[in-house]
Structure 1
Amino acid sequence: MSKIKCNHCHLEFDENVMIKEEDLNFCCKGCQGVYHILKDDGLDSFYDKLGNKTIAPPIKLDNDDVTKFDSENFLDNYVSKTKDGFSQIDLIIEGIHCAACVWLNEKILYDTKGIVEANINFTTNKARIVWDDEKLKLSEIILKIRSIGYNAYAYDSSVADAQASKAKRDYFIRMMVAVVCSMNIMMLSVAKYTGFFTGISKEVKDMIHIGEFLLSTPVLFYSGWIFFKGAYFGLKNGILNMDFLVATGATSTYIYSLFILFGAKGESYFDSVSMIITFVLVGKYLEVIGKKSAVDTLDKIKSSLPLEAVVIKNNERKTVALNSINIGDIIEIKPGEKVPVDGKIIQGSGSFDESTLTGESLPIYKKTQDIVYSGTINLDSLIQFEVTKNFKNSTFSSIVSLLEDSLNSKPTIQTKAAEISKGFSVTILSLAILTFVVWYFFGIDLGFDYEGTSQFEKSFIVAVSVIVIACPCALALATPMASLIGISELAKKGLLFKEAKFIETLAVASSVVFDKTGTLTKGELNVSKARILDDNIHKLNLLYSLLSASSHPVSISIKKYLESKYDLKIKELETVKNIEAKGMSAIYKNIEEKEFEIIGGNIELLREFGIYYKFDSTKTVYLFAINKKVIATFELEDKIKDDAKEIIEYLQNKNIDVIMLTGDNEQVASKIANELNIKKYFAKQTPVSKANYIKELKKENKIVVMVGDGVNDSVALSNADVAIAMGNSADISLAVSDIVLLNSTLNSLKDAFVISNKTYKYIKQNLSLSIVYNMITIPLAMAGLVIPLVAALSMSLSSLMVVLNSLRIKMK
């Protein structure tokens, strides 16, 4: 029975099952349906991109099960919110075979109303989709993907862990087969090469060839299967990659050696076949180990958390899974147990080991109303706390998510290196063909290791050496290897980079902008001097009420001071307004409905309300007035962090501009700037003016790093090239930041710069090493100075050199 080709999947099938439609032939109704969907949506150019390649027919799926994608439990576990308020999910798309499949899925998703972003990684089939859940349900996105013949399910990091372990195990087995066989081949080769100089009978030589053939065959076809597979998928997508060069070089040498084995004149090179595969496989295994170690970093952090927790409900204790814990639940933890989710202590007090998060080895004492963080250890007391964040949004989960994203992302320099390595393979193959032609047709004979062989053999072996010695592998490894190690080292020091690209940006930064309070200073303002001009308890209650409506460090400090001196109560205020970088205002109505205008803040705020009060101080000042009469004045002081001067000096020694932006007055800003030797500083800055200043720096082509910790820094952080937030920052600051300093110390900021600079330096070194290596070795190979065996060893050593150079990042 004749075979015909399907117009959609291009697979051949028996004519008797054909679905005929005018001049179109389909192997099944699925292919027919997808063909018409694409045609109706104007996406039939997919078939031009697909070319002669084949794809799998559409997967037959029951669309009734998509409702689970809209369930509250599923959305809580897998869907997150972007800073713009859109929903985001990572999906694995099943059925992707080539670049055309990626194009089709991205195109169909972008054309769907409500989809904001759809990016698919061809290597991993992982798709990041951002959508407006008010216009589109997740189940509708899944159905859209299924409608064109693919399937999608939620990405689970545990699957990535399992895949990394499986890849490591698979590479190890293949590598050990290659190593064992190659060692035995080399023993035979010693006998053969010794006989070449001392004389050896044809029968013995034939026996050695047979032994080499038997040992090299599993090396090529089992151990080397990885390279054949990589070459196949590369060719399917029109790419000549490093795997293609290895597979071509080894297979060509193997086929030539078979001719020698079956009677042709010359020397066999089965030993070269084996060693080519072995040496390159060792390099690949080292790469896999590097990737696995990055995944192990995640595993180490994940091990900091229990799988369940004890929840108290109606005076009953019940053990529940982490995903089932809700905000408001009461959790009990015993001494030695780990905190499962973030919460606020409501009963008990004790010491907590926060080293897994901050790297700080000393225990932190926590009491009632203090916040405890997931992943930390309760050392000595029975504690009950109220859950303030569920598992998905807890500190621990945020850390894991940031690490996963950073390990999956690519620096700009890596993208450029990948583009270079793509063209590299085509160039090398062309040079190898040119070398063969020149050697064969011009009869070149330099007499290097080729005496007594035919001209074809000489030309062939030299061409193979060119292919084998070339190393796009080292070029491709140069950036990812260093990036993986750099990210892992940063994570160990409590530095979370949301994307690996920020290593590169931080390394080339030209300006660093600091917020003052909580960043350069401890953020623990203490009242150093207070003047209560009217100690009427009713008026002090109004001051206390206004302070309670603010989370600003100044308000918190004065509130604590008042609590230590008076027994005050909160009154209900109306029209409470927060005036940026100046203070607050409110209205209070008493029982008689009489209105009182309340103002609390700096001198500038009082002037805006027509209150002119003379007050000179080099400290932070807070004035409180009722109905335009000043009732109390406070002077507050914030100490500079112990490590602030060190980081400023480090940056200035690196010729990086250091700027301080603060909402405080000129006197306070000047005092801090002088103590830290900061030349550029700006006082009385609002969140908007901070952001505008950063925009101006960027217009001057400056690469700007912003370091801050408060809500008022969030706008400025979002405008910087790299936004760095302290681990104790407000949630909104953490959300817009690119790097999080978990231990909130400026020493860790210095670590971020040191490790980023070191990583970037070694990336550039790796690229330089691989380029110089190829510039030297390829001409030598073309000149016939290198045999395939030495070429394979040289190629592997170049990759090993890159890996070992990257490992220097770990050295102090």
Structure 2
Amino acid sequence: MSQISCYHCSEPVLTASQFTTCILNIDQPMCCPGCQAVSQAIIDAGLTNYYKFRTEPGNKQTALVPEELNSVSAYDIPEVQQDFIHQRDDLNEVSLTIDGITCAACAWLIEHQVKKLSGIASIQVNSTTQRALISWHAELVKLSDILNTISAIGYQAAPFQIDEQETKSKKDSRKFLLRLGLAGFATMQVMMFALALYSGYFTDLDTEFRDYFRWVSMLFAAPVVFYSAQPFYFSAIRSILMGRLNMDVSVSIAICGAYIASCIETVNGTGEVYFESVSMFTFFLLLGRYFEQNARQKASVSSSNLHKLVPLTAFLKNDNSIEEVPAKRLVIGNIILIKPGDVVAADGVIIEGGSSVNEAMLTGEQMPVEKSVDSQVFAGTINIEQPITVRVTALGQDQLVAEIIRLQEIASNSKPKIALYADRFSNYFTAAILLIATMTYIFWSFYSPEDAFWVTLSVLVATCPCALALATPTAVTCGTAILTKLGIITRRSGVFEKLPKLNHIVFDKTGTLTLGSLSITNVELVAGTTESVTEKRALEYAAALESSSLHPIAHAFEAYLTPAITVSNKQSFVGNGLQGEIDGKLLKIGSQSFVNGTDFYESDVIIWLSIEGKVLAKFTLADAIRPNTAAAVQSLKRLGCNISIASGDNSGEVENLAKRLGIDDYHKGLSPEDKLTLVSRLQKNVHVAMFGDGINDAPVLAGANLSVAMGSGAAISKNSADIILLGDDLARFADAVTVAKSTARIIKQNLFWALGYNLFIIPLAVSGHVAPYIAAIGMSASSLIVVSNSLRLLKVRV
């Protein structure tokens, strides 16, 4: 009889079937109550995929007892956390999906509460995507503590996981549709009686029949008030408990006040009832929220889709065999085979083969990129032509696709100043509306008591600041989605404010305007030496001398290195060149003055080779201009930007490059401090963006109004940048400026409409010219107009 192993920790099960957990519809054996409790907590937390794709068994949990575990404790288990927690420096970082967020005030409430926990480094809540990005010190606070804190104020949070999130969204949508459908059905029933009463069809009936229809209307309106409108009540209560006022406060007062007053009039058999207005208001409000919800999902769908591009399986190479395995089983250092047409399963470096790879999912550029040995490939990209063998260098949350999603979420969560002003204004606006409604009721109580209640109700309904709260976040989310499709990642807040203001762009040269890698464009053998060598032999001599150098020039000769030629007594002369002996003869490579003692001005990168003091060959090297650079410069000029080059290169190549690109202002031989001084001087009169890719560009990137780093650049420069160009296509930056200007224009339009609508409707509502049901339609239409206007950004062609 074979021994049974614990499904969680793989230890032997000595307790027969005493402890089991239902996993994937199968009762799995557990060795102890601790493993049973942990596995059940994992299942209860919706993390069944942990058992589908884990590569190692869990830790034995004999020290734990079931009573000590709750529904979120599973998120503290290291094996579970590896799927959704990213470590950056000494901080843990997680993206949470949060239920119950309806407006910007909800986001503020969650941020305010979580920040009270010790160990929280930062939290950003996006009310549009209903997600939060949190960084914390793991030694000071647990993830379960954060989740419990959010739960304590009425919201349910869990780590953002794509499949589970989509399933949950569908479930929430069905529940929302049930509330909406119930409100719609009840509204139709109540309106039948209300229209008949208003039309006078029952005026000849006795009072008892009139009251009967009122009682029936009250019963039909009850589920609308007590079930369909629940989300508004919970949001309002949370806000009030935290000492704040949000838009749902006035909505809740309107619904509850109208229903209670109508019930009192029904019991007393006197006065007017507003059951039809309550039902219709709730229905239209829910209908508006439903369309808003769909619009939000459409605006933020791109960030979710990136994860889906990463395949679930990979071809793992073990010695002489190839095995198809779940991608979740890969570990760093594994060797995987990527066949033509296959999607790369993990970030890695090519160790064998060469091909072209479509990186459109990262950069937005459909043209394949040539890859060879030592080139990096990224999860989610597509191999086009030849099979390649890749060594895995990053997995899970450390892959580039995960980093892009995190950066996109940071950008979506970032609030421009105008959004912060709008959030603050909406809170004051709600308080002002409650005050206006109170004064309206007092006035109409003296002027026309029978109309006081419905006029006040119209004021509360018509002036809800939903559109004002949605004006900015929906536009920013849409703008960020477009930039991500273009391969442009925004890392810091304020990008959408800074881009439209730019009027001066400063470019570094090497690695930014140019590719940053020198190549040999011409080889010229010099006559007059006693040596008879071919061009190939001259290149081999040069490669042998340069083989120990890390200078960029040395890389240009790497392809010509051969083991047949060895160099002895090699010496390096900084800023001049190298020398060594080959077959007993002294060879030098470097500048002309170093090689034979003469010198003159060169506009290109020229390297000389001599043997025994006699010049043997002359090599011309060039750093190619990036594709589309000239077009990008012209596009930026058309947008009203002045262009400058600030380069550390002191050669004539800087001037040549400036002339070829049509740039009049160029500076060469600049140190990092000089570049920073140049940008600081320009900033006195204009808004400056700085492009760079190297470590030496980090200071000036940090000092510019807006900084842009190339995706292929040094990590430190990307950490200092506001924007990263993943595809290294400078033309995309001009597109980013266009998108930012469109986003800024949409935000202003949204705010103008939201404020204009409220300023227009308030006098009409206060003066009694807006019926409650008309107020409900107007308020919902206002919000939908704002969201629809923001979605126009997704159609911007760049």
What corresponds to 2:469 in structure 1?
Answer: 476
Contact map agreement 2:518 2:556 (CA 8 A) in 1: yes
Partner Cα distance (1:619, 1:487) in 2:
41
Contact map agreement 1:542 1:571 (CA 8 A) in 2: no
SS state at 1:672 partner: helix
Alpha carbons of structure 1 residues 250 and 584: separation in structure 2 relative to 1, 3 Å: farther
Pairwise CA distance, 1:266: 3.6
Partner Cα distance (1:143, 1:703) in 2:
41
SS state at 1:678 partner: coil
Q: Does 1:650 align with 2:650?
A: no
What corresponds to 1:87 in structure 2?
Answer: 91
Partner Cα distance (1:62, 1:590) in 2:
73
Read off the aligned partner of 1:743 and give its amino acid letter: G
What corresponds to 1:745 in structure 2?
Answer: 729
C-alpha distance after superposition, 1:480-505 (max 9, x if no partner): 11111112222223322235642222
Alpha carbons of structure 1 residues 783 and 690: separation in structure 2 relative to 1, 3 Å: same
What corresponds to 1:219 in structure 2?
Answer: 224
Alpha carbons of structure 1 residues 297 and 628: separation in structure 2 relative to 1, 3 Å: farther
What corresponds to 2:555 in structure 1?
Answer: 556
What corresponds to 1:792 in structure 2?
Answer: 776
Partner Cα distance (1:93, 1:387) in 2:
30
Read off the aligned partner of 1:744 and give its amino acid letter: D
What corresponds to 2:753 in structure 1?
Answer: 769
What corresponds to 2:294 in structure 1?
Answer: 289
What corresponds to 2:36 in structure 1?
Answer: none
Give matches, 1:244-283, under 5 Å: 244-283=249-288
What corresponds to 1:409 in structure 2?
Answer: 414
Alpha carbons of structure 1 residues 548 and 457: separation in structure 2 relative to 1, 3 Å: farther
Paired residue for 1:229, among 222, 234, 250?
Answer: 234
Pairwise CA distance, 1:524: 5.9
Give matches, 1:158-197, under 5 Å: 158=162, 164-195=169-200
What corresponds to 1:461 in structure 2?
Answer: 454
The size of the alignment, in residue pairs, is: 710
Alpha carbons of structure 1 residues 623 and 128: separation in structure 2 relative to 1, 3 Å: farther
Partner Cα distance (2:82, 2:73) in 1:
13
SS state at 1:109 partner: coil
Pairwise CA distance, 1:464: 1.6
C-alpha distance after superposition, 1:201-242 (max 9, x if no partner): 656644543443233222222221110010010011011110
Read off the aligned partner of 1:407 and give its amino acid letter: S
Give matches, 1:528-543, under 5 Å: 528-531=521-524, 541=541
Alpha carbons of structure 1 residues 342 and 584: separation in structure 2 relative to 1, 3 Å: farther
SS state at 1:262 partner: helix
Read off the aligned partner of 1:87 and give its amino acid letter: L
Give matches, 1:261-660, under 5 Å: 261-441=266-446, 443=447, 455-499=448-492, 501-523=494-516, 525-531=518-524, 541=541, 544=544, 546=546, 549-550=549-550, 552=552, 554-560=553-559, 562=560, 613-622=598-607, 633-641=618-626, 643-660=628-645
What corresponds to 1:109 in structure 2?
Answer: 118
SS state at 1:528 partner: strand
Contact map agreement 2:491 2:722 (CA 8 A) in 1: yes
Contact map agreement 2:117 2:141 (CA 8 A) in 1: no
SS state at 2:669 partner: coil
Alpha carbons of structure 1 residues 546 and 517: separation in structure 2 relative to 1, 3 Å: same
What corresponds to 1:672 in structure 2?
Answer: 657
Alpha carbons of structure 1 residues 750 and 103: separation in structure 2 relative to 1, 3 Å: closer
What corresponds to 2:17 in structure 1?
Answer: none
What corresponds to 2:21 in structure 1?
Answer: none
Pairwise CA distance, 1:797: 1.2
Contact map agreement 1:512 1:657 (CA 8 A) in 2: yes
Pairwise CA distance, 1:755: 1.3
Partner Cα distance (1:657, 1:254) in 2:
63
Contact map agreement 2:108 2:125 (CA 8 A) in 1: no
What corresponds to 1:128 in structure 2?
Answer: 134
Read off the aligned partner of 1:403 and give its amino acid letter: Q
SS state at 1:374 partner: coil
Alpha carbons of structure 1 residues 570 and 712: separation in structure 2 relative to 1, 3 Å: farther
Contact map agreement 1:185 1:212 (CA 8 A) in 2: yes
Contact map agreement 1:246 1:276 (CA 8 A) in 2: no
Give matches, 1:61-72, under 5 Å: 61=68
Alpha carbons of structure 1 residues 76 and 283: separation in structure 2 relative to 1, 3 Å: closer
Partner Cα distance (1:570, 1:190) in 2:
101
Alpha carbons of structure 1 residues 254 and 104: separation in structure 2 relative to 1, 3 Å: closer
Partner Cα distance (1:288, 1:102) in 2:
21
C-alpha distance after superposition, 1:484-537 (max 9, x if no partner): 111222222332223564222223333322223343345564433345669897
Pairwise CA distance, 1:615: 3.1
> Which structure 2 residue ranges, 5 or more long, are not aligned?
1-65, 101-105
Partner Cα distance (2:493, 2:775) in 1:
34
What corresponds to 1:40 in structure 2?
Answer: none
Alpha carbons of structure 1 residues 276 and 369: separation in structure 2 relative to 1, 3 Å: same
- Mean Cα displacement is larger for which, 615-624 or 423-432? 615-624
Contact map agreement 1:228 1:243 (CA 8 A) in 2: yes
Contact map agreement 2:520 2:621 (CA 8 A) in 1: yes
Alpha carbons of structure 1 residues 733 and 161: separation in structure 2 relative to 1, 3 Å: farther
C-alpha distance after superposition, 1:48-94 (max 9, x if no partner): xxxxxxxxxxx98579x99996969957962422xxx4434238799
TM-score normalised according to structure 1 size: 0.76
What corresponds to 2:763 in structure 1?
Answer: 779
Read off the aligned partner of 1:719 and give its amino acid letter: G
Partner Cα distance (2:688, 2:323) in 1:
50
- Mean Cα displacement is larger for which, 188-197 or 779-788? 188-197
> Which structure 1 residue ranges, 5 or more long, are not aligned?
1-58, 132-137, 444-454
What corresponds to 2:670 in structure 1?
Answer: 685
Partner Cα distance (1:497, 1:143) in 2:
27
Read off the aligned partner of 1:78 and give its amino acid letter: I
Alpha carbons of structure 1 residues 264 and 104: separation in structure 2 relative to 1, 3 Å: closer
Partner Cα distance (1:689, 1:617) in 2:
24
Contact map agreement 1:312 1:332 (CA 8 A) in 2: yes
Pairwise CA distance, 1:429: 0.3
Pairwise CA distance, 1:776: 1.3
Percent identity reads 30
Contact map agreement 1:409 1:501 (CA 8 A) in 2: yes
Contact map agreement 1:474 1:799 (CA 8 A) in 2: yes
C-alpha distance after superposition, 1:252-292 (max 9, x if no partner): 22222223333443432222112221222222223322332
Pairwise CA distance, 1:423: 1.1
Pairwise CA distance, 1:734: 3.6
Contact map agreement 1:253 1:273 (CA 8 A) in 2: yes
Contact map agreement 2:193 2:213 (CA 8 A) in 1: yes
Partner Cα distance (1:417, 1:476) in 2:
7
C-alpha distance after superposition, 1:526-559 (max 9, x if no partner): 433345669897996575554664374x543354
Contact map agreement 2:124 2:410 (CA 8 A) in 1: no
SS state at 1:512 partner: strand
Partner Cα distance (1:121, 1:231) in 2:
19
Partner Cα distance (1:576, 1:350) in 2:
37
Contact map agreement 1:165 1:292 (CA 8 A) in 2: no
